[in-house]
Structure 1
């Protein structure tokens, strides 16, 4: 029997862009999702920091998976805001999202994006909030 985390990991694996980035889902359930990816040179911008688009991707996907952990599948991001707080450097990028409110048609979620150092110490790099929409006929 497949666990909810294994089911969600299968969905992530079906996303070509997520595979390209090497993203992995490490937690999924009860309105929470954690997405991680290894920081590599090809994900950095010209000053050596992880590109903001990569942080935004991590937040976006974590937000949508958190919504899915609360209300099921058939969801898409309707809107997302992100504030970049510090440059992301280190070995791992981690996006931890949780549901704030789950309605019938929209789910509002928040996400913290951290960079983990080689020693595993987290640094908060970005915060995001997103609205996730239920697709017609889903649920």
Structure 2
């Protein structure tokens, strides 16, 4: 990526991820330390109690954190680690993962992500929060296989 965040280029990176394509994930905002991913909640993404599976929430957080970091540090990033806290069952029509950069350094970018569901009336419910550390590889780190 160049110095200016490019939503079209970021969407291309997302489309190159087979798992993201399988889930139907959309990148709806990208730039200035922010990234927003959305995906429609479908029956095949639920667990046995009818809530969005925690793995889907973790995927959305991980990807949103990395895209937010990419909006300030460029591409070829990798997640160094993240934590997620599930606050309430995720139910609704849409899952929205909104990530923001907390601090950007030369080798790491720390981001926070709020995961919300949206119901049929447009009401948002915060269902999980995540925080992650995204590594900014130097040349020779083998980061050519990274997500963004």
Smaller-chain TM-score bracket = over 0.9
1:23-70 alpha-carbon deviations (Å, 9 max, x no partner): 000000000000000000000000000000000000000000000001
Q: Structure 1: how far apart are the matches of 2:76 and 2:138?
A: 8
Q: Cα RMSD between the aligned structures?
A: 1.0
* TM-score normalised by the chain length of structure 2: 0.90
Report the CA distance between 1:119 and its aligned residue: 1.1
User: How many angstroms apart in 2 are the aligned matches of 1:120 and 1:55?
Assistant: 19
Q: Which residue number in structure 2 is paired with residue 96 of structure 1?
A: 98
CA distance in 1, matches of 2:16, 2:122: 29
TM superposition score normalised by structure 1: 0.96
The corresponding residue for 1:29 is 31
Question: Shift of residue 74 of structure 1?
Answer: 1.2
Which 4+ runs in 1 deviate beyond 3 A? none
Aligned residues: 136
Within-5 A mapping of 1:14-93 = 14-93=16-95
Q: Which runs of 5+ in 1 are unaligned?
A: none
Question: How far does the alpha carbon of each residue in 1:76-135 deviate from its partner, in whole angstroms, 9 at most, with x for none?
Answer: 000010000010111000000000000000000000000000111100000000000012
Q: Which residue does the alignment assign to 1:115? A: 117
The alignment partner of 1:104 has SS state of: coil
**Inter-partner Cα distance in structure 1 for 2:76 and 2:23:** 23
Counterpart CA distance in 1 for 2:76 and 2:7 is: 17
Which whole-Å CA distance do the structure 1 matches of 2:72 and 2:78 have between them? Answer: 14
